[in-house]
Structure 1
Amino acid sequence: MLDNLPRGTICIEDIEMGMSRALQKVVTDQDIEMFAQISTDHNPVHLDDDYARDTIFEGRIAHGMLTAGLISAVIGEQLPGHGTVYLGQSLRFLAPVRPGDLVHAEVTVTDIDPAKRRVRMDCLCSVDGKKVLVGEATVLAPSRKFD
Protein backbone atom coordinates (compact mmCIF):
# COMPACT_ATOMS: atom_id res chain seq x y z
CA MET A 1 0.00 0.00 0.00
CA LEU A 2 1.36 3.41 -0.94
CA ASP A 3 0.89 6.48 1.23
CA ASN A 4 1.18 9.27 -1.36
CA LEU A 5 0.60 12.91 -1.88
CA PRO A 6 -1.80 13.60 -4.76
CA ARG A 7 -0.56 12.37 -8.14
CA GLY A 8 -0.39 14.43 -11.27
CA THR A 9 1.97 16.86 -12.92
CA ILE A 10 3.95 19.92 -11.89
CA CYS A 11 5.11 21.70 -15.05
CA ILE A 12 8.58 23.23 -15.36
CA GLU A 13 6.97 26.68 -15.12
CA ASP A 14 5.75 25.87 -11.58
CA ILE A 15 8.72 23.94 -10.16
CA GLU A 16 10.64 25.76 -7.42
CA MET A 17 13.98 25.22 -5.70
CA GLY A 18 13.59 23.11 -2.57
CA MET A 19 10.24 21.68 -3.68
CA SER A 20 9.89 18.16 -2.34
CA ARG A 21 7.56 15.16 -2.66
CA ALA A 22 7.56 11.74 -1.02
CA LEU A 23 5.80 8.42 -0.66
CA GLN A 24 5.94 5.53 1.75
CA LYS A 25 5.60 1.84 1.03
CA VAL A 26 5.98 -1.36 3.02
CA VAL A 27 8.17 -3.75 1.01
CA THR A 28 6.50 -7.17 1.06
CA ASP A 29 7.63 -10.69 0.24
CA GLN A 30 5.31 -10.52 -2.77
CA ASP A 31 7.03 -7.30 -3.98
CA ILE A 32 10.42 -9.01 -3.80
CA GLU A 33 9.16 -12.12 -5.60
CA MET A 34 7.49 -10.07 -8.35
CA PHE A 35 10.61 -7.92 -8.80
CA ALA A 36 12.69 -11.10 -9.14
CA GLN A 37 10.33 -12.32 -11.87
CA ILE A 38 10.27 -9.02 -13.74
CA SER A 39 14.00 -8.31 -13.49
CA THR A 40 15.09 -11.98 -13.79
CA ASP A 41 17.33 -11.35 -10.74
CA HIS A 42 16.84 -14.49 -8.67
CA ASN A 43 19.83 -13.97 -6.37
CA PRO A 44 19.07 -16.16 -3.33
CA VAL A 45 19.94 -13.32 -0.94
CA HIS A 46 16.52 -11.94 -1.93
CA LEU A 47 14.53 -15.17 -2.08
CA ASP A 48 16.02 -17.90 0.12
CA ASP A 49 15.91 -17.50 3.93
CA ASP A 50 18.45 -20.27 4.59
CA TYR A 51 20.94 -18.93 2.05
CA ALA A 52 20.50 -15.29 3.14
CA ARG A 53 21.07 -16.10 6.85
CA ASP A 54 24.67 -17.05 6.01
CA THR A 55 25.46 -13.78 4.18
CA ILE A 56 26.75 -10.46 5.54
CA PHE A 57 23.10 -9.35 5.69
CA GLU A 58 22.11 -12.21 8.03
CA GLY A 59 18.74 -12.48 6.33
CA ARG A 60 16.82 -11.76 3.15
CA ILE A 61 16.92 -8.29 1.65
CA ALA A 62 14.98 -6.52 -1.07
CA HIS A 63 16.64 -5.84 -4.41
CA GLY A 64 18.34 -2.44 -4.34
CA MET A 65 16.65 -1.49 -7.58
CA LEU A 66 13.25 -2.28 -6.07
CA THR A 67 13.98 0.41 -3.47
CA ALA A 68 15.27 2.73 -6.20
CA GLY A 69 12.02 2.16 -8.07
CA LEU A 70 10.23 4.06 -5.31
CA ILE A 71 12.26 7.15 -6.29
CA SER A 72 11.06 6.62 -9.86
CA ALA A 73 7.48 6.46 -8.58
CA VAL A 74 7.81 9.82 -6.81
CA ILE A 75 9.34 11.41 -9.91
CA GLY A 76 6.88 9.88 -12.37
CA GLU A 77 3.75 10.43 -10.31
CA GLN A 78 4.36 13.55 -8.21
CA LEU A 79 7.43 15.71 -8.96
CA PRO A 80 7.48 16.59 -11.77
CA GLY A 81 4.92 13.83 -12.41
CA HIS A 82 3.15 12.60 -15.52
CA GLY A 83 5.07 13.31 -18.72
CA THR A 84 8.49 13.43 -17.02
CA VAL A 85 11.41 11.86 -18.90
CA TYR A 86 14.34 10.42 -16.92
CA LEU A 87 17.74 11.66 -18.17
CA GLY A 88 19.98 10.24 -15.47
CA GLN A 89 20.15 8.76 -11.99
CA SER A 90 22.99 8.14 -9.55
CA LEU A 91 22.47 5.85 -6.56
CA ARG A 92 24.39 4.81 -3.47
CA PHE A 93 23.03 1.96 -1.40
CA LEU A 94 23.83 2.53 2.26
CA ALA A 95 21.90 -0.18 4.09
CA PRO A 96 19.65 -3.14 3.25
CA VAL A 97 15.87 -3.00 3.01
CA ARG A 98 14.19 -6.09 4.43
CA PRO A 99 10.77 -7.62 3.86
CA GLY A 100 8.30 -5.74 6.05
CA ASP A 101 10.30 -2.48 6.13
CA LEU A 102 8.41 0.77 5.63
CA VAL A 103 10.47 2.74 3.08
CA HIS A 104 10.16 6.52 2.88
CA ALA A 105 11.22 7.75 -0.60
CA GLU A 106 11.71 11.48 -1.16
CA VAL A 107 12.98 13.79 -3.90
CA THR A 108 13.95 17.45 -3.48
CA VAL A 109 14.62 19.94 -6.28
CA THR A 110 18.22 21.24 -6.21
CA ASP A 111 18.60 22.83 -9.65
CA ILE A 112 16.28 24.05 -12.40
CA ASP A 113 17.17 24.92 -16.00
CA PRO A 114 13.87 26.30 -17.36
CA ALA A 115 15.22 26.87 -20.89
CA LYS A 116 16.14 23.19 -21.25
CA ARG A 117 13.26 21.98 -18.98
CA ARG A 118 15.84 20.12 -16.87
CA VAL A 119 15.42 19.54 -13.17
CA ARG A 120 17.99 18.01 -10.84
CA MET A 121 16.83 16.46 -7.58
CA ASP A 122 18.39 14.90 -4.52
CA CYS A 123 16.91 11.46 -3.86
CA LEU A 124 16.65 9.71 -0.52
CA CYS A 125 15.15 6.49 0.79
CA SER A 126 15.05 5.77 4.50
CA VAL A 127 13.76 3.13 6.90
CA ASP A 128 12.98 4.21 10.48
CA GLY A 129 14.86 7.47 9.84
CA LYS A 130 18.01 5.65 8.67
CA LYS A 131 19.22 6.39 5.14
CA VAL A 132 19.25 3.27 2.99
CA LEU A 133 19.70 4.92 -0.44
CA VAL A 134 20.88 8.34 -1.59
CA GLY A 135 21.37 9.73 -5.07
CA GLU A 136 20.61 12.37 -7.62
CA ALA A 137 18.22 12.37 -10.58
CA THR A 138 18.12 14.59 -13.64
CA VAL A 139 14.83 14.75 -15.54
CA LEU A 140 13.15 16.53 -18.41
CA ALA A 141 10.05 18.12 -16.91
CA PRO A 142 6.78 18.57 -18.76
CA SER A 143 5.82 22.08 -19.87
CA ARG A 144 2.49 23.79 -20.51
CA LYS A 145 4.04 25.08 -23.75
CA PHE A 146 3.95 21.54 -25.16
CA ASP A 147 0.43 20.52 -24.11
Structure 2
Amino acid sequence: MVELVQQHPSGGYILDELHVGMAAEKIVVATEDRIRLFAEASDDFNPVHLDEAFASKTAYRGRIAHGLLSASFGSAVVGTILPGAGSIYISQTLAFHQPVRIDDVVRILITVIEVEAESARVKLSCEGFVGETMIMDGVAVVRVPRRRKPSQR
Protein backbone atom coordinates (compact mmCIF):
# COMPACT_ATOMS: atom_id res chain seq x y z
CA MET A 1 0.00 0.00 0.00
CA VAL A 2 1.27 3.48 -0.90
CA GLU A 3 1.13 6.19 1.77
CA LEU A 4 1.58 9.69 0.32
CA VAL A 5 3.59 11.89 2.68
CA GLN A 6 4.47 15.57 2.78
CA GLN A 7 7.81 17.15 3.57
CA HIS A 8 8.88 16.38 7.15
CA PRO A 9 8.67 19.44 9.46
CA SER A 10 12.45 19.25 9.93
CA GLY A 11 13.00 19.21 6.16
CA GLY A 12 13.94 15.53 5.96
CA TYR A 13 13.09 12.08 7.22
CA ILE A 14 15.70 10.07 9.13
CA LEU A 15 16.25 6.34 8.68
CA ASP A 16 14.00 5.25 11.56
CA GLU A 17 11.06 7.21 10.14
CA LEU A 18 11.14 5.56 6.72
CA HIS A 19 9.25 2.43 5.75
CA VAL A 20 8.31 0.56 2.60
CA GLY A 21 5.28 2.13 0.93
CA MET A 22 5.95 5.75 1.87
CA ALA A 23 5.62 7.90 -1.24
CA ALA A 24 5.79 11.53 -2.32
CA GLU A 25 4.87 13.27 -5.52
CA LYS A 26 5.54 16.56 -7.22
CA ILE A 27 4.00 18.22 -10.26
CA VAL A 28 6.39 20.15 -12.52
CA VAL A 29 5.79 21.84 -15.87
CA ALA A 30 8.48 21.36 -18.53
CA THR A 31 8.49 24.99 -19.59
CA GLU A 32 10.50 26.64 -22.33
CA ASP A 33 12.50 28.47 -19.64
CA ARG A 34 13.31 25.25 -17.73
CA ILE A 35 14.53 23.59 -20.94
CA ARG A 36 16.70 26.58 -21.87
CA LEU A 37 18.13 26.91 -18.36
CA PHE A 38 18.83 23.16 -18.21
CA ALA A 39 20.67 23.39 -21.55
CA GLU A 40 22.82 26.16 -20.10
CA ALA A 41 23.43 24.36 -16.80
CA SER A 42 24.28 21.02 -18.43
CA ASP A 43 25.99 22.44 -21.56
CA ASP A 44 23.69 20.17 -23.62
CA PHE A 45 22.60 22.27 -26.58
CA ASN A 46 21.31 19.39 -28.71
CA PRO A 47 19.01 21.06 -31.27
CA VAL A 48 16.29 18.45 -30.64
CA HIS A 49 15.71 20.39 -27.41
CA LEU A 50 16.20 23.95 -28.66
CA ASP A 51 15.59 24.26 -32.41
CA GLU A 52 12.06 23.61 -33.68
CA ALA A 53 13.12 23.51 -37.34
CA PHE A 54 15.70 20.84 -36.62
CA ALA A 55 13.49 18.91 -34.17
CA SER A 56 10.52 18.85 -36.58
CA LYS A 57 12.61 16.67 -38.92
CA THR A 58 13.38 14.06 -36.24
CA ALA A 59 11.39 11.00 -35.18
CA TYR A 60 9.86 13.17 -32.41
CA ARG A 61 8.37 15.66 -34.93
CA GLY A 62 9.15 18.58 -32.65
CA ARG A 63 11.19 19.72 -29.70
CA ILE A 64 11.43 17.59 -26.58
CA ALA A 65 12.81 18.24 -23.12
CA HIS A 66 16.13 16.75 -22.05
CA GLY A 67 15.58 13.32 -20.48
CA LEU A 68 17.77 14.28 -17.57
CA LEU A 69 15.70 17.41 -17.00
CA SER A 70 12.72 15.15 -16.37
CA ALA A 71 14.89 12.95 -14.16
CA SER A 72 15.98 16.00 -12.19
CA PHE A 73 12.35 16.52 -11.18
CA GLY A 74 12.71 13.20 -9.32
CA SER A 75 15.87 14.48 -7.70
CA ALA A 76 13.85 17.44 -6.42
CA VAL A 77 11.44 15.08 -4.64
CA VAL A 78 14.29 13.02 -3.16
CA GLY A 79 16.18 16.09 -1.96
CA THR A 80 13.27 18.09 -0.58
CA ILE A 81 10.41 15.74 0.34
CA LEU A 82 11.25 12.02 0.55
CA PRO A 83 13.64 11.35 2.18
CA GLY A 84 14.39 15.09 1.99
CA ALA A 85 17.12 17.28 3.44
CA GLY A 86 20.31 15.42 4.25
CA SER A 87 19.75 12.57 1.80
CA ILE A 88 22.54 11.80 -0.66
CA TYR A 89 22.13 10.05 -4.03
CA ILE A 90 24.28 6.92 -4.37
CA SER A 91 22.93 5.58 -7.67
CA GLN A 92 20.03 5.83 -10.10
CA THR A 93 18.79 3.63 -12.92
CA LEU A 94 16.52 5.19 -15.53
CA ALA A 95 14.51 4.08 -18.51
CA PHE A 96 12.82 6.68 -20.71
CA HIS A 97 9.59 5.52 -22.34
CA GLN A 98 8.06 8.64 -23.90
CA PRO A 99 9.35 12.13 -24.66
CA VAL A 100 8.35 15.16 -22.63
CA ARG A 101 7.31 18.14 -24.72
CA ILE A 102 7.31 21.85 -23.96
CA ASP A 103 4.60 22.70 -21.42
CA ASP A 104 3.87 19.06 -20.55
CA VAL A 105 2.83 18.65 -16.92
CA VAL A 106 5.05 15.98 -15.36
CA ARG A 107 4.00 14.13 -12.20
CA ILE A 108 6.86 12.50 -10.34
CA LEU A 109 6.13 9.69 -7.88
CA ILE A 110 8.88 8.49 -5.54
CA THR A 111 8.11 5.40 -3.40
CA VAL A 112 10.23 3.68 -0.74
CA ILE A 113 10.67 0.05 -1.83
CA GLU A 114 13.41 -1.06 0.56
CA VAL A 115 15.03 0.19 3.76
CA GLU A 116 18.57 -1.06 4.48
CA ALA A 117 19.15 -0.31 8.17
CA GLU A 118 22.80 -1.40 8.32
CA SER A 119 23.95 0.88 5.51
CA ALA A 120 21.42 3.68 6.20
CA ARG A 121 20.26 3.47 2.60
CA VAL A 122 16.86 3.28 1.01
CA LYS A 123 15.83 2.10 -2.43
CA LEU A 124 13.26 4.27 -4.12
CA SER A 125 11.03 3.56 -7.09
CA CYS A 126 11.12 6.65 -9.31
CA GLU A 127 8.33 7.14 -11.83
CA GLY A 128 7.36 10.02 -14.07
CA PHE A 129 4.03 10.51 -15.84
CA VAL A 130 2.48 12.91 -18.32
CA GLY A 131 -1.23 12.38 -17.80
CA GLU A 132 -1.58 8.63 -17.31
CA THR A 133 1.37 7.83 -19.61
CA MET A 134 4.57 6.70 -17.90
CA ILE A 135 7.43 8.69 -19.40
CA MET A 136 10.25 7.23 -17.28
CA ASP A 137 11.00 4.92 -14.40
CA GLY A 138 13.92 3.59 -12.43
CA VAL A 139 15.33 2.88 -9.00
CA ALA A 140 17.44 5.18 -6.85
CA VAL A 141 19.65 4.23 -3.92
CA VAL A 142 19.90 7.06 -1.40
CA ARG A 143 21.82 7.39 1.84
CA VAL A 144 19.76 8.97 4.62
CA PRO A 145 20.75 10.42 7.99
CA ARG A 146 20.39 8.14 11.01
CA ARG A 147 19.56 11.07 13.33
CA ARG A 148 18.92 14.78 13.21
CA LYS A 149 21.61 17.22 14.20
CA PRO A 150 20.71 19.26 17.30
CA SER A 151 19.42 22.75 16.62
CA GLN A 152 22.06 25.48 16.58
CA ARG A 153 19.72 27.86 18.43
Task: Name the SS of the counterpart of 1:67 in structure 2.
Answer: helix
RMSD: 1.5
Work out which of the residue numbers 103, 116, 121 in structure 1 matches 2:119: 116
Change (3 A) 1:145 1:48: closer
Task: Name the SS of the counterpart of 1:80 in structure 2.
Answer: coil
The aligned length equals 144
C-alpha separation between the residues in 2 aligned to 1:70 and 1:124?
A: 10
Work out which of the residue numbers 13, 22, 34 in structure 2 matches 1:31: 34
Question: 1:94 aligns to what?
Answer: 97
Matched, 1:17 2:17: no
C-alpha separation between the residues in 2 aligned to 1:142 and 1:27?
A: 31
Shift of 1:38: 0.7
Matched, 1:133 2:144: no
Task: Name the SS of the counterpart of 2:72 in structure 1.
Answer: helix
User: How far does the alpha carbon of each residue in 1:88-138 deviate from its partner, in whole angstroms, 9 at most, with x for none?
Assistant: 000000000001000001110111011211100110000011000100000
Question: 1:106 aligns to what?
Answer: 109
Question: 2:47 aligns to what?
Answer: 44
Matched, 1:56 2:62: no
| Contact 1:80 1:142 survives alignment (8 Å) | no
User: How far does the alpha carbon of each residue in 1:29-56 deviate from its partner, in whole angstroms, 9 at most, with x for none?
Assistant: 0100000111010000000011101100
AA in 2 matched with 1:87: I
Task: Name the SS of the counterpart of 2:122 in structure 1.
Answer: strand
AA in 2 matched with 1:24: I
Structure 2 alignment gaps of length 5 or more: 1-5
AA in 2 matched with 1:110: I
Q: Which runs of 4+ in 1 moved over 3 A?
A: none
AA in 2 matched with 1:129: E
Question: 1:71 aligns to what?
Answer: 74
Structure 1 alignment gaps of length 5 or more: none
C-alpha separation between the residues in 1 aligned to 2:148 and 2:16?
A: 9
C-alpha separation between the residues in 2 aligned to 1:134 and 1:106?
A: 9
Task: Name the SS of the counterpart of 2:136 in structure 1.
Answer: strand
TM-score by length of 1: 0.94
Task: Name the SS of the counterpart of 2:99 in structure 1.
Answer: coil
Shift of 1:6: 3.5
